[in-house]
Amino acid sequence: MAADATSPFGQPTPRIDGVAKVTGAARYASDEPVAHPAYACLVTSAIARGRVRALHLERAKAVPGVLDILTHDNVGAQATPPPQLSGGGSTTTLETDQVWHDGQIIAVVVAETFEAAREAAHRVEADYVVEEPGATFGSPGVTTEPHHPAQSGEGDPKVGDAAAALARAEVRIDARYSTPTQHHNPIELFTTTCVWDGPKLTIYEPTQFMWGLKSAVAKQLKLDPADVRTVSRYVGGAFGSKGSVSSRTAWIAVAARRLGRPVKLAASRDQGFTIATYRAETRHHLQLAATRDGRLTALSHEGSEVTSRPSGYNVAGVDTTARMYACPNISTSVSVVHADRNTPGFMRAPAETPYMFALESAMDELAYALQMDPIELRRINDTRTDPVDGKPFSSRSLMQCFDQAAARFGWSRRDPRPGSMRDGDWLIGWGCATACYPSNIGPAACRVSLTPEGKAAVHLAAHEIGTGAYTTIALTAAHALGLKVEDVTVVLGDSDLPPVPVAGGSNNAASTVNATLKACEELRARLAAAAVQDRAGPFGGADPARLQLQGGALVWSGRREPLAKAVGRVTAGALEVHAENVPEGLPPDAMAKLYQGTPVLLRGGSRKDATAYAFGAHLVEVRVHRLTCEIRVGRVVSAFAAGTIVNPLTAYSQFMGGTIWGLSAALHEQTEIDLRTARYVNDNLADYSIPVNADVPDLQIIIVPEQDRTVNPAGIKGIGEIGIVGMNAAVANAVFHATGKRIRDLPIRPEKLL
């Protein structure tokens, strides 16, 4: 979209909510003041499989200040479990006596103070019927089945005859990879505050989906959705963990109703590992076939993922890996392994992070088998056409990303032989990988008002999860209404506002910016229509489509009318429009579904005739100590092309944060599981390893300009997730280049190199 010289759209802009955040004025959900609250503490199961035979509450009730204890015996029938993300059944909590996984909620203690609730929770004694749990792949008693195909109803991608092409391959790679369980650990804990006012329930809870939480809890408690309001003005980190509805919310609402008083819960860090979702461990069997000159002739990707006993949740990243490179024969499949675990869920680039690790590692292995530069291998197999369904990519700047990153990195100085580059006792390795993420967009509604004083307000139930949503939307309205950013007020995070989709799948900017632009355009059109009717005014008789809002005025052909007049002509108060945007390609009932809180996203672009992805390239230098095998990342250059960038400053943060997380996924992160008990061992921030500043080296991000007129009118592809994708493989590939050791199982820890 064209921006005039004075427009702030596309200009690096500090967050408009930055001061509020750093001064503590920003109100996170658990900061919301409520009158005379009671405090809840969860009791969670100490076994992973079995039943609760009895709960002994006497010692807990004896703690001074205890008000109530919810168990399956006294409230079990009052709520149903929240909806599942994909096929299959759901795990229960207080609904029954069944224990599906370690750390499952089995009781909720409510007391006058947090301390009393916690003390009493520790005194609840549970008698269990214990069964032997199966923790993960290969554990006793776990079951495996094919996954339920994608929402679209299309099966796993399949093209040509991959088996035959593999059989006659000139060069072939056949390898198995794995990625571990990981937990998001946003700094803001999983909190819920519930307040009843007669039949009306208000829920203060950090969420990535205001309207989804509202409708889900209404359904769980059999309430009229109109009686449920959710409020979440700021979210202190989400990464997918606050995208789906967890069990706790309905029980806190029940607790507040029983007590006739607001109830506040702040679950502990370790409880966050089991009452919310996580990134499941995955396994991959990758087979590639290529001609001697490097053209792919076959790709076979078989994935397998862990989920809970009843849930069919899976991420099925073969949908993306099958589309990355030109290839005439593609075969993919995904299976799920049901274990005695909590149900996994979204975590930054849920599908792409594990699946692209496998593909991009295998591509590196193929490059060595061909004795070819790994960037050249990707160039040879670059394509303008989606190899699965033959649609053109709406835009694809993958090689521009590689070329710009390579130039900055100095890639041409790379000696391809493993172990050939050294600095004293340190082995130097340079590796690369492709990043990508499907460009999602959903329906969104938005209310915009403008006063004769030139002040605008934008209202929508969007989500500030740290990405800079307030600022992005302010820049958009300022641009479209010809105002300064400081003249725009943005109000988000309340389900009383017009709905937008879940802040997931990197759709947020595309969905909300396009809806905001639509509302602003309707506002402009109303002002223009009135202006051209006014024969005494400067635009009498003009074509209303030509009138623009710029610099605090309505303008056309050198004429200029200040907003005081242009808006004052139609109102002395505020002119307000409500707009609903349904992107092309979504079914006509998409807006109705959004109002019902149903997830509606258009995956992979907005047009039937194109496949839309953002692309990027990671180039990494690692240093591996010859004797201790200590692994340090020395340098990273990552380049991304993701269409229109509304705010390059916050975009840089997203790319950088994602890239660092990819480094973390490669070298640091793993939720350790005790295989005998199916319990998480390092469920705290002391033992769960993540990178600190000293682990993050010279990190450079390049934003490659890209215009995509197909993906959506604003040309936005989304940037929240792409940064993490492929980075794990780039690090692993660099480790191979340094050491000659191919580590196919993440994370890469020194002991795997010894």
**Which residue is listed with tokens 């499907």?**
438
Nearest approach in angstroms of CB 438 to ligand MOS is 11
Nearest approach in angstroms of CB 419 to ligand MOS is 37
Closer to ligand MOS by CB, 82 or 454: give it. Answer: 82
Tell me how far apart the alpha carbons of residues 314 and 727 are, in angstroms, rounded to a whole number.
Answer: 21
Nearest approach in angstroms of CB 144 to ligand MOS is 25
Nearest approach in angstroms of CB 722 to ligand MOS is 11
Closer to ligand MOS by CB, 347 or 531: give it. Answer: 347
Q: H helices of 52-138, where?
A: 58-61, 72-75, 114-123
Nearest approach in angstroms of CB 208 to ligand MOS is 6
Nearest approach in angstroms of CB 506 to ligand MOS is 7
Tell me how far apart the alpha carbons of residues 466 and 656 are, in angstroms, rounded to a whole number.
Answer: 13
Catalytic residue from among 464, 576, 721, 751: 721
Tell me how far apart the alpha carbons of residues 603 and 716 are, in angstroms, rounded to a whole number.
Answer: 13
Which one-letter amino acid corresponds to residue 327?
C
Beta bridge partners of 125: 56
Nearest approach in angstroms of CB 467 to ligand MOS is 10
Phi first, then psi: give them for residue 126, nearest 5 degrees.
-110, 135
Tell me how far apart the alpha carbons of residues 381 and 16 are, in angstroms, rounded to a whole number.
Answer: 43
Closer to ligand MOS by CB, 165 or 513: give it. Answer: 513
DSSP string, 557-621: TTEEEEHHHHHHTT-SS-EEEEEEE--TTS-TTHHHHHHTT----BTT-S-TT-B-EEEEEEEEE
Tokens in use for 329? 């024969």
**Which residue is listed with tokens 């995509």?**
708
Name which of 387, 359, 389 is nearest 374 in CA terms: 359
Angle between helices 352-370 and 648-667 (to 10 degrees): 70
Tokens in use for 645? 């960038």
Q: Is 486 a catalytic residue?
A: no
**Which residue is listed with tokens 């939480």?**
213
Name which of 263, 342, 68, 297 is nearest 164 in CA terms: 297
Closer to ligand MOS by CB, 68 or 188: give it. Answer: 188
Which one-letter amino acid corresponds to residue 296?
L
Name which of 198, 196, 234 is nearest 217 in CA terms: 196
DSSP string, 61-102: HTSTTEEEEE-HHHHGGG-PPPPPSSSB----STTSSEE-ST
Closer to ligand MOS by CB, 319 or 487: give it. Answer: 319
Closer to ligand MOS by CB, 240 or 294: give it. Answer: 240
Binding site for ligand MOS (CB under 6 A): 208, 238-240, 243, 346-348, 350, 504-505, 721
Closer to ligand MOS by CB, 350 or 605: give it. Answer: 350
Closer to ligand MOS by CB, 264 or 463: give it. Answer: 463
Nearest approach in angstroms of CB 293 to ligand MOS is 38
Nearest approach in angstroms of CB 669 to ligand MOS is 15
Q: Which residue is nearest to ligand MOS (CB)?
A: 240
How far does CA 625 lie from the centroid of its chain? 35
Tell me how far apart the alpha carbons of residues 402 and 662 are, in angstroms, rounded to a whole number.
Answer: 17
Region of 136 please: left (phi>0), alpha (psi -120 to 50) or beta.
beta
Closer to ligand MOS by CB, 235 or 362: give it. Answer: 235
Give the single-character DSSP code of 695: G
Count of alpha carbons within 13 angstroms of residue 109, beta-carbon side: 32
Residues known to be catalytic: 721
